[in-house]
Structure 1
């Protein structure tokens, strides 16, 4: 049977031990591994002996010895409880072997858990699990986790007091980070809040978020928006030393100034404009955007976007002008534009 994404999220958290098998497939190996780990932990339990009730058979070995799968499914374990056989990186070439094991499966046998990469609708492996009356097939897409999935991850991390803007900030973070990085962020946040009685704040979410070169880019843009021309050179040298390219910095600047222009152009004022931004912004970053949009105004922001557009075109052209110097000159011009006349 085919599991819809919403149903799959619930099933991974509480799999049915009486099912014959489960196929998890999709283009992102990291997401597949995370779901496989989740379903096995829920099926077999978190204790040490659960690993003794799991048999792992790589697809490469199964191709050499097809009988190994049925032997593992039928084998009797020394430890009581549900058992599972994991077949990783399967493909359509194993459909016949897996079909034979599913047909021979009976109550008390090990459940067959299979992972695979991207499978088309015509895939024989996918059709095998989707048409089986007691097995499931679940596709894992690159979509960010939804509210229900985030709520489950918060529960797993023992983070119960998260609401309002902090929850919105985590949802926005989940759209930006890979699943593994987002889960690690929640674990860091749980350790940070261990024993605390206050609810999770937006500032704490930002503090636990992974550090990246974007923080350095934000510092440069803050100096530019504030008219601090003397700070631009040292900040740029630090960014370039980290490997940030001028064209990357220009793209970040264009994105930031477009956000400011959107906020400044809102009929309800910058505060109303920031509230309409998607993905939403929170905490200090929201206050900074409102302040900068008010300081610059629509006319100056349009002039600034014109400077950045010209710079972007020159950076992407075959011009012999040094890219770092072009970018620094553009940012200094913007910083001078920010100063009150």
Structure 2
């Protein structure tokens, strides 16, 4: 039977051990490993806590001894509770070895968890689990997790959030890699331990993984706030990291387009920024709202025209050094903002 991705959070909370097992497959090994670990913990407890109720075997072991799987599923443990057997890195060649084990499975036997890479619709292993009445097959794609899955991860980590903080965490959960997001939740849980104050966007951003994009953000903020001395410093850091000038220009243009959209929406800038997709929250929203009010719609249009011309020059191969060309253009754009 197929298990829909949207049903995974509910399945993880209460695994259906009345069925023989589950096949996890997909192109992203990290996501497969993340779900495998979560399901094993849901079945037998945290890693190391219930070692006597969990058996792991590699696909290569089954190729040489097909009966080993059936023996492992039927074996009786010394400790009470649900048992689980994991077969890792399975391929279509193991379908014939796994099929008898599924057919012979009876309630009370160990739960079988099989992981595999990308499988086509014609895959023998995938057809085996999808066609079995006593097993599930779950496809794991690189799609961002839904709100329900993110909330389940937060609940497991002991992190509570509401309002802008919840929206910010949801946005990060859909952009960060699963492992990075899980680490962020662990850090937030540790940081807020014993603190009864609500989680804030500033705390989330302070603990979020730092990336090369942060230096681009610092440069963009320097341009939008007319902090000219900071532009050269930010450019030097990005050049040392090997950043692409066109990519930097695109990031700056994207920011000014957001400012332009908020300025042209009418009403309060904060409300307009929150309606953007993706929305802007917390201190970043306040900073951008101040930029919208300081620039005004006509100056933002001129800034976008200058950035577009710079982008064309960078792509056109003018022969001029790209980084100095971009730096001068960004300084000109920054100087368009009226000084207060």
TM-score by length of 2: 0.94
Q: Which residue of 2 aligns with 1:307?
A: 306
Whether contact under 8 Å (2:294, 2:338) holds in the other structure is: no
Q: Distance in 2 between matches of 1:240 and 1:288?
A: 26
CA distances 1:288-317 after superposition (whole Å, capped 9, x unpaired): 111111211222212212222222222223
Q: Which residue of 1 aligns with 2:274?
A: 275
Q: Distance in 2 between matches of 1:283 and 1:186?
A: 18
2:315 corresponds to 1:316: yes
Q: Distance in 2 between matches of 1:235 and 1:191?
A: 32
Moved more, 169-178 or 79-88: 79-88
Q: Which residue of 1 aligns with 2:50?
A: 50
CA distances 1:75-110 after superposition (whole Å, capped 9, x unpaired): 333333222111112122211111111112223322
Q: Distance in 1 between matches of 2:339 and 2:192?
A: 43
Whether contact under 8 Å (1:49, 1:79) holds in the other structure is: no
Q: Which residue of 1 aligns with 2:237?
A: 238
Q: Distance in 1 between matches of 2:48 and 2:284?
A: 45
Q: Which residue of 1 aligns with 2:39?
A: 39
Q: Distance in 1 between matches of 2:207 and 2:125?
A: 41
TM-score by length of 1: 0.94
CA distances 1:213-235 after superposition (whole Å, capped 9, x unpaired): 22222221122112222221122
Q: Which residue of 1 aligns with 2:147?
A: 147
Whether contact under 8 Å (1:28, 1:141) holds in the other structure is: yes
Q: Distance in 2 between matches of 1:257 and 1:107?
A: 61
Cα root mean square deviation, aligned: 1.8
Q: Distance in 1 between matches of 2:137 and 2:119?
A: 11
Q: Which residue of 2 aligns with 1:106?
A: 106
Q: Distance in 2 between matches of 1:67 and 1:313?
A: 65
Q: Which residue of 1 aligns with 2:164?
A: 165
Q: Which residue of 1 aligns with 2:64?
A: 64
Paired residue secondary structure (2:232):
helix
Moved over 6 A (4+): none
Q: Could you tell me how far 1:22 is from its partner in structure 2? A: 0.5
CA distance 1:244–1:67, change in 2 (3 Å): same
Moved more, 180-189 or 68-77: 68-77
Q: Could you tell me how far 1:72 is from its partner in structure 2? A: 2.0
Moved more, 308-317 or 272-281: 308-317
Q: Which residue of 2 aligns with 1:122?
A: 122
Q: Which residue of 2 aligns with 1:27?
A: 27
Q: Which residue of 2 aligns with 1:14?
A: 14
Moved more, 226-235 or 92-101: 226-235
Moved more, 144-153 or 43-52: 43-52
Whether contact under 8 Å (2:201, 2:282) holds in the other structure is: yes
Q: Could you tell me how far 1:4 is from its partner in structure 2? A: 1.5
Whether contact under 8 Å (2:9, 2:152) holds in the other structure is: no
CA distance 1:49–1:335, change in 2 (3 Å): closer
